[in-house]
Amino acid sequence: MIITVTPNISLDKTLVVENFEIGKTHRVKDITAIPGGKGVNASRALLGMGYIAPVLGFIGGNTGQNILNMFDHEGIKYDVVKINRETRTCYNVVDPINHTQTEVLENGPVVTDNDINLLEAKIVSYVKEDTIVCMGGSLPIGAPQDLYVRLVESINLKGGRVILDASGDRLKEGIKGKPFAVKPNRAEVESILGFSLDSDENIKKALDYFVAVGVTLPVISMGKDGVAFYYDGRYYRITPPVLKALNAVGSGDSTVAGIALGLEKKLDIVEAVRLGAAMGSANVLTLKPGEVRKTDVDEILPRVGVTVI
């Protein structure tokens, strides 16, 4: 079984505003709202492949209820901890005339120790031998900085495998729990390691950093340059075909979903990461973050190359 965990679920609103300017009053041209967050996007990508992976996380207030209604509408299953505070909304003002994107992110609700304990108990209740947990993103206010360590350890203890996709301190802290896999993107890795991933040598050095702390399968997504990963003594680079991108947001999350699906299907690890890369590529062909069509993945997968580096 695969579950996804998103501690800081958000309602992602895209406001299309022509000629967006500071200090002016504008009418929106178009507006879309969709539940977002790394685990949510991974569940959406898995649904596109015909696989149901429930979303776990915190949900509160009217915005939270709105999100649950949208999950129902999309067919995304969920098992959430209800909290008293309002789930956050993130805004992206897209200007199609000047080609700008201006984002405003709410901080999200404060969660209590009790909320955290309820989420942990809920996650652990799903975990059996071979359960795969896709987990990641930012943490809500009030969550301990070492939440990911704690959750990873609890999941490991019951024989589950975690794919952690986080950045900054959440990633640096989280790997102390020894997740089975991590899937940061290039910029996130460069930010915590302080050097540029501009050569195979540096990419290997970055993968080694994660291996050294006990990560079995470190994966770095690199946008159009594909995916680099380490497994069982070897370094690999996966190169997807070049596609005309409609919206690349959520490709990393779709890659995580694909790796999870590969593990769930007991594919070879290299094949699992190839499936991840194919799903990450397929995501750029759709508008919604995490939206993936199985027909696209079937078409892309044979064109995804693997090389040992």
> Using CB under 8 A as the criterion, which residues of the chain lie in contact with a second copy when the complex forms?
15, 17, 20-28, 31, 61-63, 65-66, 69, 91, 93, 95, 98, 100-107
User: CA dihedral in degrees (265, 6, 73, 66; nearest 10)?
Assistant: 170
Tell me how far apart the alpha carbons of residues 91 and 93 are, in angstroms, rounded to a whole number: 6
Compare residues 184 and 258 and give the one whose CB is closer to a second copy.
184
Compare residues 26 and 265 and give the one whose CB is closer to a second copy.
26
Q: Taking the CB of residue 218, how many other CB atoms lie within 10 A of it?
A: 25
Nearest to 221 by CA among 179, 260, 277: 277
The distance of closest approach from Cβ of residue 42 to a second copy in the complex, given in angstroms and rounded to an integer, is 22
The distance of closest approach from Cβ of residue 13 to a second copy in the complex, given in angstroms and rounded to an integer, is 9
Q: Taking the CB of residue 129, how many other CB atoms lie within 10 A of it?
A: 8
Compare residues 76 and 155 and give the one whose CB is closer to a second copy.
76
Q: Taking the CB of residue 52, how many other CB atoms lie within 10 A of it?
A: 12
User: CA dihedral in degrees (208, 272, 165, 60; nearest 10)?
Assistant: -160
Tell me how far apart the alpha carbons of residues 268 and 304 are, in angstroms, rounded to a whole number: 15
The distance of closest approach from Cβ of residue 21 to a second copy in the complex, given in angstroms and rounded to an integer, is 7
Compare residues 104 and 212 and give the one whose CB is closer to a second copy.
104
Compare residues 84 and 101 and give the one whose CB is closer to a second copy.
101
The distance of closest approach from Cβ of residue 110 to a second copy in the complex, given in angstroms and rounded to an integer, is 13
The distance of closest approach from Cβ of residue 18 to a second copy in the complex, given in angstroms and rounded to an integer, is 11
